[in-house]
Structure 1
């Protein structure tokens, strides 16, 4: 998977949003794409008092604030990457449906992990979670620290997860970074006393099956990207636990929106949810299936 359409970054005036702008600007510049900044500031249903529409003066103040937020974000992008083509818009629409709609024609949506409208103690904002669940293109949630480390991709052998592998290889090639393919094959709960997962059966045979699954999942991509060094990691652990550990040293973690263990109607699986809320580096979530 290669990103060929413009990158869209959603902003709300918060510091995490400006971090997302800088990350998106660098990604767009690296890929020679345009950057489109969106500040969706509409909140239908908000009234002053009981059923009384907002006074015009309040609406004007909100519009002026929206203009300031968009202008600051666009200027941040242009200052960070002067040669980058940057456009912007401030539609009076709720952020999640607006950005989901933009995702239909975007190559990637980029968001800060939390915004100024979030609740204290909330690790990821509702916009990041909502767009990650419903977006039609890859969604990057910029959080933690971008370490000088590898691109890490979670591999589970599902069709839903295949776009994540393709995009991870593409990211590694674009940024001249090594790739770590992590296949954590145990979803069993940990033993409360010994801290280890239980598996009942022929463990040697099962381990061989997991090695074959990872090899089959990567087949073709290493031939397509011969210059990308790949490290294969197979471990008996919960996927979210392993990927959170890798996020402490990764440049980027790439995962599918849900894995083979998820329910068909569940738009975000437990692993992608955990990364959105707790990862120590940027997270890139892909849709598939």
Structure 2
């Protein structure tokens, strides 16, 4: 059995939705599911009767056991044959989950949380983990039961190769189609010399479009040979990157993007494209960090 799927648990509706998604992912991969609850600095006083930050102290153990029991029931409903383990950790949730990502095949978190994961809000834990986690990070958001294809944001960068592999694997495991979208535009091109020279008259639009098509084909061809059972739709779109991806995500069950890229995503790091997806996509978003090597 391979590395487990890890999910952050705090008892919030968002984290319970993440637990269900994580259980299904573990079942598809044939690996275990690890439920992780962390104790950091609390926003409310903890019950008395034990040393501070000790989960075994009176009152807190019952609270944690109840939270994890509820999460485990949800997990068993979604993945009845998945092996489930629990972990209660002492530390800030962000630090705990980042450490957990080192030995996980996938880290799943909810859109926002409470309790032990009070910091699990977009702009903090989820975004940080998407940028710094050691494994792919799946943030559960959007529609409760999304359907449709897996959407892959293609930029052609060496670092983005990991996202391509992840997207093909997800599509194969889910029995879903894969939509590979490459967005190109000319807004980053130098401005025309004078007001009477529109940009399209000084930029070779056909050449840029052809380069985008070659990039899309070269990125996908090796993986279509490795995953011949995955049906792939290639889309080449002239638009602004973030709105185009968010709009395309409206028909997807999962959006997959690299943490950073180049080409169609020149200059756009996690704080722009991926973060826009994490805030606005209508379905779960997986952010996959690459090694930077071809």
Q: TM-score range by the shorter chain?
A: 0.7 to 0.9
Distance across 2 between alignment mates of 1:202 and 1:230: 28
Deviations 1:20-76 (A, max 9, x none): 0000101111111100000112228x897xxxx996568644454333222221222
Deviations 1:210-237 (A, max 9, x none): 1111111112111111111111111111
Distance across 2 between alignment mates of 1:206 and 1:98: 45
Deviations 1:227-265 (A, max 9, x none): 1111111111122211111111101000001111237xx
Distance across 1 between alignment mates of 2:135 and 2:78: 25
Query: 2:113–2:121: 8 Å Cα contact kept in structure 1?
Result: no
Q: TM-score, normalised by structure 2?
A: 0.84
Query: 2:47–2:60: 8 Å Cα contact kept in structure 1?
Result: no
Distance across 2 between alignment mates of 1:144 and 1:126: 19
Alignment length (residue pairs): 270
Hey, what does 1:287 align to over in structure 2? Answer: 289
Structure 1: where are the runs of 5+ without partners?
190-196
Deviations 1:119-160 (A, max 9, x none): 9xx973622112112100000000011422000000011112
Hey, what does 1:92 align to over in structure 2? Answer: 90
Hey, what does 2:267 align to over in structure 1? Answer: 262
Distance across 1 between alignment mates of 2:282 and 2:31: 27
Query: 1:187–1:238: 8 Å Cα contact kept in structure 2?
Result: no
Question: In the TM superposition, what is the alpha-carbon distance from 1:187 to its structure 2 partner?
Answer: 7.2
Structure 2: where are the runs of 5+ without partners?
189-197
- For the residue of structure 2 that corresponds to 1:140, the secondary structure is strand
Alignment of 1:45-64 (within 5 A): 56=49, 60=57, 61-64=59-62
- For the residue of structure 2 that corresponds to 1:220, the secondary structure is helix
- For the residue of structure 1 that corresponds to 2:38, the secondary structure is coil
Aligned structure 1 segments of 4 or more residues deviating by more than 6 angstroms: none
Hey, what does 1:164 align to over in structure 2? Answer: 163
**Aligned equivalent of 1:245, options 235, 244, 247:** 247
Query: 1:257–1:269: 8 Å Cα contact kept in structure 2?
Result: no
Hey, what does 1:194 align to over in structure 2? Answer: none
Question: In the TM superposition, what is the alpha-carbon distance from 1:185 to its structure 2 partner?
Answer: 1.4
Q: TM-score, normalised by structure 1?
A: 0.85
Query: 1:183–1:235: 8 Å Cα contact kept in structure 2?
Result: yes
Hey, what does 2:129 align to over in structure 1? Answer: 131
Distance across 2 between alignment mates of 1:221 and 1:139: 21
More helix by share: 2
Distance 1:162-1:187 versus aligned 2 partners, 3 A rule: farther
Distance 1:67-1:198 versus aligned 2 partners, 3 A rule: farther
Hey, what does 1:193 align to over in structure 2? Answer: none
Query: 2:21–2:78: 8 Å Cα contact kept in structure 1?
Result: no
